[in-house]
Amino acid sequence: MAGCGWAGRVTGVVALLVYVYGFSAAYMTLDAGLGALVLFAVVQITMFAGALVTREPVPPRRFAGAGLALAGLAWMLWPVGAVQVGPVHAAMMAAAGVGWGIYSLAGRGGADPLRTTAANFVLAAPAGLLVGFAINPAAAMPGVTGIALAVLSGAVTSGLGYALWYAVLPRLAASAAAVAQLSVPVIALAGGIAFLGEALSPRLALAAALVMAGVALAALPARRG
């Protein structure tokens, strides 16, 4: 969709804005692990729904793999102890999941991932500033440091990551791409252990193994003959 004229471009930009604002607002109160769980679960639902709407063949093992990976993710990310979930902020994170799912589905039609991502960011930036100003005028007036950090974290790190994702998406079925994203928390966990000295508990190790087993099951090619 992203490569199909202005309709696809608008879809990508709006989906990106919904994701960014929903994600940011939700994490004002949501627990980090629980928020990630809501996000990834809704992304799965959105992208699997997109696959079914477009009549993409989804083998049963992919549904099974998604269920196994989500179960492992829930085990990994569920907060320890009591946690309060505000329905408004949970709904915002769910909206962010829908936004990211649609943004990913849109990227499957892009021919030039770097150009498409750059265009999405260029168009989303002024729209995002207008929305931010409408919500909170004081917070929408960043200083030089804020602008520099936004460019570094947005255009450089996130932008390149999104471009890489858009480069991979056309090679994957929508449902396969959905499940593949569940490996992201496991990669983050591995990075925390390798670079930040975080401890790996038996629970986290088993949960991560479940997630990767589910991703691997979903990635198995369909049987022929």
**Does the CA dihedral 136-84-99-151 come out positive or negative?**
positive
pLDDT at 142: 67
pLDDT at 5: 62
Q: Does residue 131 fall inside a structural domain?
A: yes
* Confidence check: pLDDT of 29 > 90: no
Q: Does residue 87 fall inside a structural domain?
A: yes
Report, as an integer, the average pLDDT of 56-73. Answer: 95
Q: Does residue 224 fall inside a structural domain?
A: no
For the packed helices 87-107 and 159-168, what is the interaxial angle rounded to 10 degrees? Answer: 60
Q: Does residue 138 fall inside a structural domain?
A: yes
What's the rounded Cα separation, in Å, for the pair 123 and 85? Answer: 33
Q: Does residue 98 fall inside a structural domain?
A: yes
Q: Does residue 30 fall inside a structural domain?
A: yes
Q: In total, how many domains does the chain have? A: 1
Q: Does residue 65 fall inside a structural domain?
A: yes
Q: Which domain holds residue 33?
A: 5-219
* Least confident range of 39-53, 70-84, 134-148: 134-148
Report, as an integer, the average pLDDT of 168-179. Answer: 93
* Least confident range of 79-93, 128-142, 189-203: 128-142
| Count of alpha carbons within 13 angstroms of residue 123, beta-carbon side | 17
Q: Does residue 75 fall inside a structural domain?
A: yes
pLDDT tens digits, residue range 131-148? 777 776 666 566 778 777
* Confidence check: pLDDT of 2 > 50: no
